[in-house]
Structure 1
Amino acid sequence: MLLELNQIIVPPGQQLLLKNVSWQMYENILSELGEGRAARINYYQGMLEIVTPLPEHEIGKVMIGDLVKALLEELDIDFWSLASTTFKNEAMAAGVEADDCFYIQNEAVIRGKKRIDLTVDPPPDLAIEIDITSRTRFNNYEALGVTELWRYDGQSLEINVLEDGKYVKSNTSRNFSQFPLVDAIPQYVEQSKVVGRNATMKAFRNWVREF
Protein backbone atom coordinates (compact mmCIF):
# COMPACT_ATOMS: atom_id res chain seq x y z
CA MET A 1 0.00 0.00 0.00
CA LEU A 2 1.34 3.44 -0.95
CA LEU A 3 1.00 6.42 1.35
CA GLU A 4 -0.52 9.66 0.07
CA LEU A 5 1.17 12.94 0.97
CA ASN A 6 -1.93 14.17 2.74
CA GLN A 7 -1.63 11.22 5.15
CA ILE A 8 1.76 12.44 6.40
CA ILE A 9 1.81 14.86 9.35
CA VAL A 10 5.07 16.52 10.43
CA PRO A 11 4.55 18.26 13.81
CA PRO A 12 6.16 21.69 14.36
CA GLY A 13 9.81 21.33 15.27
CA GLN A 14 10.11 17.90 13.64
CA GLN A 15 11.58 16.64 10.37
CA LEU A 16 10.78 13.76 8.07
CA LEU A 17 13.46 12.10 5.92
CA LEU A 18 12.60 10.04 2.85
CA LYS A 19 15.27 8.14 0.93
CA ASN A 20 15.44 6.90 -2.66
CA VAL A 21 13.28 9.78 -3.89
CA SER A 22 13.70 10.41 -7.62
CA TRP A 23 13.93 13.89 -9.08
CA GLN A 24 10.48 13.49 -10.63
CA MET A 25 9.03 12.44 -7.28
CA TYR A 26 10.62 15.53 -5.70
CA GLU A 27 9.07 17.75 -8.39
CA ASN A 28 5.69 16.08 -7.88
CA ILE A 29 5.84 16.61 -4.12
CA LEU A 30 6.65 20.30 -4.58
CA SER A 31 3.75 20.64 -7.00
CA GLU A 32 1.27 18.76 -4.83
CA LEU A 33 2.12 20.59 -1.61
CA GLY A 34 2.15 23.98 -3.34
CA GLU A 35 3.77 27.23 -2.28
CA GLY A 36 1.47 28.22 0.59
CA ARG A 37 2.64 25.47 2.94
CA ALA A 38 4.29 25.84 6.33
CA ALA A 39 6.73 22.97 5.75
CA ARG A 40 10.07 23.47 4.00
CA ILE A 41 11.39 20.86 1.59
CA ASN A 42 15.04 20.13 0.81
CA TYR A 43 16.48 17.55 -1.55
CA TYR A 44 19.92 16.11 -2.25
CA GLN A 45 20.73 13.10 -4.41
CA GLY A 46 17.67 11.03 -3.53
CA MET A 47 17.24 12.17 0.08
CA LEU A 48 14.17 14.34 0.75
CA GLU A 49 13.75 16.31 3.96
CA ILE A 50 10.48 17.87 5.10
CA VAL A 51 10.74 20.25 8.07
CA THR A 52 7.99 22.13 9.91
CA PRO A 53 9.45 25.06 11.91
CA LEU A 54 8.55 26.15 15.44
CA PRO A 55 7.33 29.70 16.20
CA GLU A 56 10.69 30.55 17.82
CA HIS A 57 12.33 29.50 14.57
CA GLU A 58 10.23 32.02 12.65
CA ILE A 59 11.04 34.80 15.13
CA GLY A 60 14.78 34.30 14.60
CA LYS A 61 14.34 34.13 10.84
CA VAL A 62 12.40 37.39 10.62
CA MET A 63 14.66 39.31 12.99
CA ILE A 64 17.92 38.29 11.34
CA GLY A 65 16.44 38.94 7.91
CA ASP A 66 15.40 42.43 9.04
CA LEU A 67 18.89 43.12 10.39
CA VAL A 68 20.48 42.10 7.08
CA LYS A 69 18.05 44.34 5.17
CA ALA A 70 18.83 47.26 7.47
CA LEU A 71 22.56 46.70 7.02
CA LEU A 72 22.24 46.68 3.23
CA GLU A 73 20.05 49.78 3.28
CA GLU A 74 22.49 51.68 5.48
CA LEU A 75 25.33 50.70 3.13
CA ASP A 76 23.17 51.78 0.16
CA ILE A 77 23.59 48.37 -1.50
CA ASP A 78 20.81 47.14 -3.77
CA PHE A 79 19.57 43.68 -2.83
CA TRP A 80 16.73 41.26 -3.43
CA SER A 81 15.36 39.05 -0.67
CA LEU A 82 13.67 35.88 -1.90
CA ALA A 83 12.87 34.42 1.53
CA SER A 84 12.12 30.66 1.28
CA THR A 85 12.04 30.45 -2.52
CA THR A 86 12.74 26.96 -3.85
CA PHE A 87 16.12 26.78 -5.59
CA LYS A 88 16.82 23.59 -7.51
CA ASN A 89 19.06 22.17 -10.21
CA GLU A 90 18.32 18.75 -11.67
CA ALA A 91 21.87 18.34 -12.99
CA MET A 92 23.15 18.73 -9.42
CA ALA A 93 20.28 16.60 -8.01
CA ALA A 94 19.83 19.28 -5.39
CA GLY A 95 17.03 21.54 -4.21
CA VAL A 96 16.77 23.78 -1.17
CA GLU A 97 14.43 26.22 0.57
CA ALA A 98 16.41 28.51 2.85
CA ASP A 99 14.83 30.30 5.79
CA ASP A 100 15.90 33.48 4.05
CA CYS A 101 18.22 34.33 1.19
CA PHE A 102 19.58 37.41 -0.52
CA TYR A 103 20.94 38.40 -3.88
CA ILE A 104 23.53 41.12 -3.25
CA GLN A 105 26.45 41.08 -5.70
CA ASN A 106 24.21 39.38 -8.25
CA GLU A 107 21.11 41.48 -7.58
CA ALA A 108 21.26 43.24 -10.95
CA VAL A 109 21.46 39.88 -12.76
CA ILE A 110 18.12 38.63 -11.42
CA ARG A 111 16.39 42.01 -11.00
CA GLY A 112 12.81 41.84 -12.28
CA LYS A 113 12.81 38.08 -12.88
CA LYS A 114 9.69 36.20 -11.81
CA ARG A 115 11.43 32.81 -11.86
CA ILE A 116 15.02 31.87 -11.05
CA ASP A 117 16.54 29.09 -13.16
CA LEU A 118 19.83 27.91 -11.66
CA THR A 119 20.87 26.35 -14.96
CA VAL A 120 21.40 29.90 -16.23
CA ASP A 121 21.01 32.20 -13.21
CA PRO A 122 23.43 32.52 -10.28
CA PRO A 123 22.44 31.19 -6.84
CA PRO A 124 21.83 33.59 -3.93
CA ASP A 125 24.86 35.38 -2.49
CA LEU A 126 23.71 34.72 1.08
CA ALA A 127 21.45 32.07 2.62
CA ILE A 128 20.29 32.04 6.25
CA GLU A 129 19.22 28.95 8.17
CA ILE A 130 17.73 28.89 11.68
CA ASP A 131 18.97 25.64 13.21
CA ILE A 132 16.88 25.46 16.39
CA THR A 133 15.24 22.08 15.82
CA SER A 134 17.55 20.52 13.22
CA ARG A 135 21.01 21.14 11.80
CA THR A 136 21.28 22.32 8.22
CA ARG A 137 23.03 19.96 5.83
CA PHE A 138 25.69 21.58 3.69
CA ASN A 139 25.46 19.24 0.67
CA ASN A 140 22.65 20.86 -1.28
CA TYR A 141 23.91 24.41 -0.66
CA GLU A 142 27.40 23.40 -1.78
CA ALA A 143 26.03 21.67 -4.87
CA LEU A 144 24.02 24.75 -5.84
CA GLY A 145 27.02 27.03 -5.26
CA VAL A 146 25.58 29.38 -2.62
CA THR A 147 28.68 31.39 -1.71
CA GLU A 148 27.79 32.19 1.90
CA LEU A 149 25.62 30.37 4.44
CA TRP A 150 24.71 31.58 7.93
CA ARG A 151 23.44 29.20 10.60
CA TYR A 152 21.83 30.54 13.78
CA ASP A 153 21.03 28.10 16.60
CA GLY A 154 19.10 30.47 18.83
CA GLN A 155 22.22 31.68 20.62
CA SER A 156 25.15 31.96 18.22
CA LEU A 157 25.76 32.75 14.56
CA GLU A 158 28.00 30.58 12.39
CA ILE A 159 29.24 32.01 9.08
CA ASN A 160 30.33 29.59 6.36
CA VAL A 161 31.92 30.66 3.08
CA LEU A 162 32.35 28.53 -0.02
CA GLU A 163 35.94 27.66 -0.93
CA ASP A 164 36.70 25.16 -3.69
CA GLY A 165 33.17 23.82 -3.52
CA LYS A 166 33.17 23.25 0.26
CA TYR A 167 32.09 25.42 3.17
CA VAL A 168 34.70 26.76 5.55
CA LYS A 169 33.76 28.39 8.84
CA SER A 170 34.72 32.07 8.93
CA ASN A 171 34.79 34.83 11.54
CA THR A 172 33.73 37.39 8.94
CA SER A 173 31.14 37.62 6.19
CA ARG A 174 32.32 38.03 2.61
CA ASN A 175 29.32 40.24 1.96
CA PHE A 176 29.98 42.46 5.02
CA SER A 177 33.66 41.92 5.77
CA GLN A 178 34.07 45.14 7.78
CA PHE A 179 31.49 44.23 10.43
CA PRO A 180 31.90 41.73 13.34
CA LEU A 181 28.53 40.13 12.66
CA VAL A 182 29.26 36.81 14.40
CA ASP A 183 29.00 38.74 17.66
CA ALA A 184 26.65 41.56 16.66
CA ILE A 185 23.76 39.62 15.10
CA PRO A 186 23.07 37.38 18.15
CA GLN A 187 23.39 40.41 20.45
CA TYR A 188 20.76 42.40 18.55
CA VAL A 189 18.45 39.39 18.27
CA GLU A 190 18.58 39.01 22.06
CA GLN A 191 18.13 42.75 22.52
CA SER A 192 14.91 42.62 20.47
CA LYS A 193 13.43 40.20 23.02
CA VAL A 194 13.91 42.78 25.77
CA VAL A 195 13.36 46.22 24.22
CA GLY A 196 11.29 45.25 21.17
CA ARG A 197 11.89 45.18 17.46
CA ASN A 198 11.70 48.92 16.64
CA ALA A 199 14.13 50.04 19.34
CA THR A 200 16.51 47.27 18.33
CA MET A 201 16.42 48.22 14.65
CA LYS A 202 17.14 51.87 15.49
CA ALA A 203 20.08 50.84 17.69
CA PHE A 204 21.42 48.51 14.99
CA ARG A 205 21.20 51.19 12.29
CA ASN A 206 23.06 53.62 14.55
CA TRP A 207 25.72 50.99 15.18
CA VAL A 208 26.21 50.49 11.44
CA ARG A 209 26.46 54.23 10.79
CA GLU A 210 28.98 54.76 13.57
CA PHE A 211 31.09 51.67 12.91
Structure 2
Amino acid sequence: MNPNRLEKPASQAVEEQRLTLSGVAWEQYEILRDTLDDFAGLRMTYLEGTLELFMPSREHERIKKTIARLIELYSTQKNIRLYGYGSTTYRKQAQERGLEPDECYCVGEIKEFPDFAIEVIVTSGSIDKLEVYRGLGIPEVWFWESNRLLLYHLRGEKYESINRSEFLPELDIDLLVRCANIPDQYDAVVEFRKAIS
Protein backbone atom coordinates (compact mmCIF):
# COMPACT_ATOMS: atom_id res chain seq x y z
CA MET A 1 0.00 0.00 0.00
CA ASN A 2 1.30 3.42 -0.95
CA PRO A 3 0.89 5.75 2.08
CA ASN A 4 0.81 8.75 -0.27
CA ARG A 5 -2.30 7.45 -2.05
CA LEU A 6 -4.80 6.75 0.70
CA GLU A 7 -8.39 6.35 -0.42
CA LYS A 8 -11.00 8.45 1.30
CA PRO A 9 -13.51 6.47 3.33
CA ALA A 10 -16.92 6.21 1.64
CA SER A 11 -18.34 8.79 4.05
CA GLN A 12 -15.80 11.31 2.78
CA ALA A 13 -16.08 10.38 -0.90
CA VAL A 14 -16.58 13.20 -3.39
CA GLU A 15 -20.27 14.00 -3.80
CA GLU A 16 -21.98 14.44 -7.14
CA GLN A 17 -21.00 17.55 -9.01
CA ARG A 18 -23.17 19.40 -11.55
CA LEU A 19 -22.64 22.42 -13.75
CA THR A 20 -25.44 23.81 -15.92
CA LEU A 21 -24.77 26.15 -18.84
CA SER A 22 -27.37 28.05 -20.87
CA GLY A 23 -27.18 29.32 -24.43
CA VAL A 24 -24.98 26.46 -25.65
CA ALA A 25 -25.24 25.89 -29.41
CA TRP A 26 -25.55 22.33 -30.71
CA GLU A 27 -22.11 22.59 -32.35
CA GLN A 28 -20.56 23.66 -29.03
CA TYR A 29 -22.18 20.70 -27.28
CA GLU A 30 -20.81 18.28 -29.90
CA ILE A 31 -17.30 19.76 -29.63
CA LEU A 32 -17.37 19.53 -25.82
CA ARG A 33 -18.74 15.96 -25.87
CA ASP A 34 -16.15 14.81 -28.39
CA THR A 35 -13.30 16.63 -26.67
CA LEU A 36 -14.15 15.33 -23.21
CA ASP A 37 -15.00 11.74 -24.25
CA ASP A 38 -11.91 10.43 -22.48
CA PHE A 39 -12.77 12.22 -19.22
CA ALA A 40 -13.79 9.16 -17.21
CA GLY A 41 -17.28 9.31 -15.75
CA LEU A 42 -18.29 12.71 -17.12
CA ARG A 43 -21.89 12.75 -18.30
CA MET A 44 -23.53 15.46 -20.35
CA THR A 45 -27.21 16.14 -20.89
CA TYR A 46 -28.21 18.57 -23.63
CA LEU A 47 -31.70 19.97 -24.20
CA GLU A 48 -32.37 22.82 -26.62
CA GLY A 49 -29.42 25.02 -25.64
CA THR A 50 -29.06 23.98 -22.01
CA LEU A 51 -26.09 21.76 -21.15
CA GLU A 52 -25.57 20.00 -17.85
CA LEU A 53 -22.21 18.45 -16.99
CA PHE A 54 -22.36 15.83 -14.28
CA MET A 55 -19.82 13.81 -12.33
CA PRO A 56 -21.59 10.93 -10.54
CA SER A 57 -20.77 10.03 -6.95
CA ARG A 58 -19.49 6.68 -5.80
CA GLU A 59 -22.95 5.87 -4.37
CA HIS A 60 -24.59 6.72 -7.69
CA GLU A 61 -22.27 4.33 -9.53
CA ARG A 62 -22.75 1.57 -6.94
CA ILE A 63 -26.52 1.70 -7.31
CA LYS A 64 -26.47 1.76 -11.12
CA LYS A 65 -24.05 -1.16 -11.25
CA THR A 66 -26.14 -3.20 -8.79
CA ILE A 67 -29.27 -2.67 -10.89
CA ALA A 68 -27.35 -3.54 -14.07
CA ARG A 69 -26.00 -6.76 -12.56
CA LEU A 70 -29.49 -7.81 -11.48
CA ILE A 71 -31.05 -7.11 -14.88
CA GLU A 72 -28.23 -8.87 -16.70
CA LEU A 73 -28.51 -11.89 -14.39
CA TYR A 74 -32.26 -11.94 -15.00
CA SER A 75 -31.79 -11.95 -18.77
CA THR A 76 -29.37 -14.88 -18.72
CA GLN A 77 -31.48 -16.87 -16.24
CA LYS A 78 -34.60 -16.32 -18.36
CA ASN A 79 -32.82 -16.79 -21.70
CA ILE A 80 -33.61 -13.26 -22.91
CA ARG A 81 -31.24 -11.72 -25.45
CA LEU A 82 -30.21 -8.46 -23.79
CA TYR A 83 -27.56 -6.14 -25.20
CA GLY A 84 -26.11 -3.58 -22.79
CA TYR A 85 -24.59 -0.28 -23.86
CA GLY A 86 -23.82 1.31 -20.49
CA SER A 87 -23.36 5.07 -20.77
CA THR A 88 -23.12 5.36 -24.55
CA THR A 89 -23.79 8.86 -25.88
CA TYR A 90 -27.05 9.24 -27.81
CA ARG A 91 -27.75 12.42 -29.80
CA LYS A 92 -30.29 13.82 -32.24
CA GLN A 93 -29.37 17.18 -33.69
CA ALA A 94 -32.82 17.75 -35.22
CA GLN A 95 -34.35 17.41 -31.74
CA GLU A 96 -31.47 19.27 -30.01
CA ARG A 97 -31.08 16.48 -27.48
CA GLY A 98 -28.24 14.34 -26.23
CA LEU A 99 -27.22 12.38 -23.15
CA GLU A 100 -25.52 9.34 -21.67
CA PRO A 101 -27.88 7.05 -19.73
CA ASP A 102 -26.57 5.41 -16.58
CA GLU A 103 -27.36 2.06 -18.22
CA CYS A 104 -29.28 1.13 -21.35
CA TYR A 105 -30.28 -2.02 -23.19
CA CYS A 106 -31.66 -3.40 -26.42
CA VAL A 107 -33.86 -6.48 -26.12
CA GLY A 108 -33.83 -9.24 -28.72
CA GLU A 109 -31.51 -7.55 -31.20
CA ILE A 110 -29.07 -4.68 -31.53
CA LYS A 111 -30.68 -1.38 -32.53
CA GLU A 112 -29.50 2.19 -33.16
CA PHE A 113 -31.15 3.41 -29.94
CA PRO A 114 -31.85 1.37 -26.80
CA ASP A 115 -35.25 -0.07 -25.93
CA PHE A 116 -34.92 1.07 -22.34
CA ALA A 117 -32.62 3.24 -20.29
CA ILE A 118 -31.98 3.46 -16.56
CA GLU A 119 -31.29 6.69 -14.67
CA VAL A 120 -30.16 6.80 -11.06
CA ILE A 121 -31.15 10.00 -9.28
CA VAL A 122 -29.14 10.74 -6.14
CA THR A 123 -29.24 14.51 -6.58
CA SER A 124 -31.57 16.25 -9.02
CA GLY A 125 -30.34 18.08 -12.05
CA SER A 126 -31.94 21.05 -13.76
CA ILE A 127 -32.80 19.35 -17.07
CA ASP A 128 -35.96 17.27 -17.53
CA LYS A 129 -34.42 13.96 -18.60
CA LEU A 130 -37.74 12.49 -19.69
CA GLU A 131 -38.02 15.35 -22.17
CA VAL A 132 -34.56 14.52 -23.51
CA TYR A 133 -35.47 10.83 -23.81
CA ARG A 134 -38.75 11.73 -25.52
CA GLY A 135 -36.89 13.66 -28.20
CA LEU A 136 -34.51 10.74 -28.68
CA GLY A 137 -37.45 8.35 -29.03
CA ILE A 138 -36.33 5.95 -26.28
CA PRO A 139 -39.42 3.77 -25.65
CA GLU A 140 -38.91 3.09 -21.94
CA VAL A 141 -37.07 4.86 -19.10
CA TRP A 142 -36.57 3.62 -15.54
CA PHE A 143 -35.70 6.11 -12.80
CA TRP A 144 -34.15 4.92 -9.52
CA GLU A 145 -34.93 7.56 -6.90
CA SER A 146 -35.37 7.39 -3.12
CA ASN A 147 -34.76 3.62 -3.12
CA ARG A 148 -37.49 2.78 -5.62
CA LEU A 149 -37.97 2.40 -9.36
CA LEU A 150 -40.35 4.50 -11.42
CA LEU A 151 -40.97 3.19 -14.95
CA TYR A 152 -42.23 5.18 -17.93
CA HIS A 153 -43.21 4.07 -21.43
CA LEU A 154 -43.47 6.40 -24.42
CA ARG A 155 -46.92 6.44 -26.00
CA GLY A 156 -47.03 8.78 -28.96
CA GLU A 157 -45.48 12.01 -27.75
CA LYS A 158 -45.89 11.42 -24.02
CA TYR A 159 -44.48 9.11 -21.35
CA GLU A 160 -46.94 7.23 -19.17
CA SER A 161 -46.17 5.69 -15.80
CA ILE A 162 -46.19 1.87 -15.91
CA ASN A 163 -45.92 -0.85 -13.24
CA ARG A 164 -44.04 -3.41 -15.35
CA SER A 165 -41.53 -3.13 -18.13
CA GLU A 166 -43.03 -3.77 -21.53
CA PHE A 167 -39.67 -5.16 -22.65
CA LEU A 168 -39.22 -7.45 -19.63
CA PRO A 169 -42.87 -8.04 -18.67
CA GLU A 170 -42.20 -11.02 -16.38
CA LEU A 171 -39.57 -9.16 -14.35
CA ASP A 172 -40.81 -8.67 -10.78
CA ILE A 173 -40.07 -4.98 -10.18
CA ASP A 174 -40.73 -5.24 -6.43
CA LEU A 175 -38.16 -8.05 -6.17
CA LEU A 176 -35.66 -6.05 -8.23
CA VAL A 177 -36.12 -3.04 -5.94
CA ARG A 178 -35.83 -5.14 -2.78
CA CYS A 179 -32.57 -6.69 -3.98
CA ALA A 180 -31.16 -3.41 -5.32
CA ASN A 181 -31.64 -1.98 -1.82
CA ILE A 182 -29.38 -4.64 -0.27
CA PRO A 183 -26.21 -2.67 0.57
CA ASP A 184 -23.77 -5.44 -0.36
CA GLN A 185 -23.73 -5.92 -4.14
CA TYR A 186 -22.71 -9.58 -3.95
CA ASP A 187 -25.47 -10.37 -1.45
CA ALA A 188 -27.97 -8.55 -3.67
CA VAL A 189 -27.06 -10.68 -6.68
CA VAL A 190 -27.15 -13.93 -4.70
CA GLU A 191 -30.55 -13.08 -3.19
CA PHE A 192 -31.95 -12.13 -6.58
CA ARG A 193 -30.61 -15.30 -8.21
CA LYS A 194 -32.24 -17.46 -5.51
CA ALA A 195 -35.57 -15.71 -6.01
CA ILE A 196 -35.67 -16.08 -9.82
CA SER A 197 -34.24 -19.61 -10.07
**1:197 is the counterpart of 2:188:** no
RMSD of aligned alpha carbons: 1.7
1:90 match: 93
Alignment of 1:151-162 (within 5 A): 151-162=143-154
1:190 positional shift: 2.0
Distance in 2, Cα, partners of 1:205 & 1:27: 41
Q: In structure 1, which of residues 146, 150, 159 is the aligned counterpart of residue 138 of structure 2?
A: 146
Alignment of 1:29-178 (within 5 A): 29-105=32-108, 107=109, 109-110=110-111, 121=112, 123-134=113-124, 137-178=129-170
- Greater share of helix: 1
Amino acid at match of 2:83: W
Contact 2:15 2:56 in 1 (8 A): yes
* SS of the residue 2:159 aligns to: strand
Contact 1:23 1:93 in 2 (8 A): yes
**1:186 is the counterpart of 2:192:** no
Distance in 2, Cα, partners of 1:200 & 1:90: 40
List runs of 5+ in structure 2 lacking aligned partners: 1-13
Aligned residues: 182
Q: Which of 21-30 and 163-172 deviates more?
A: 163-172
Contact 2:24 2:51 in 1 (8 A): yes
Amino acid at match of 2:142: W
Percent sequence identity is 28
Amino acid at match of 1:78: R
Amino acid at match of 2:95: M
Give TM-score, length-normalised by structure 2. Answer: 0.86
- Greater share of strand: 2
* 1:80-135 Cα shifts (integer Å, max 9, x gaps): 11100100111111111000101114x2x44xxxxxxxxxx3x2011000001115
Contact 1:67 1:201 in 2 (8 A): yes
* 1:155-185 Cα shifts (integer Å, max 9, x gaps): 111111111121111111111222330x222
Distance in 1, Cα, partners of 2:185 & 2:54: 27
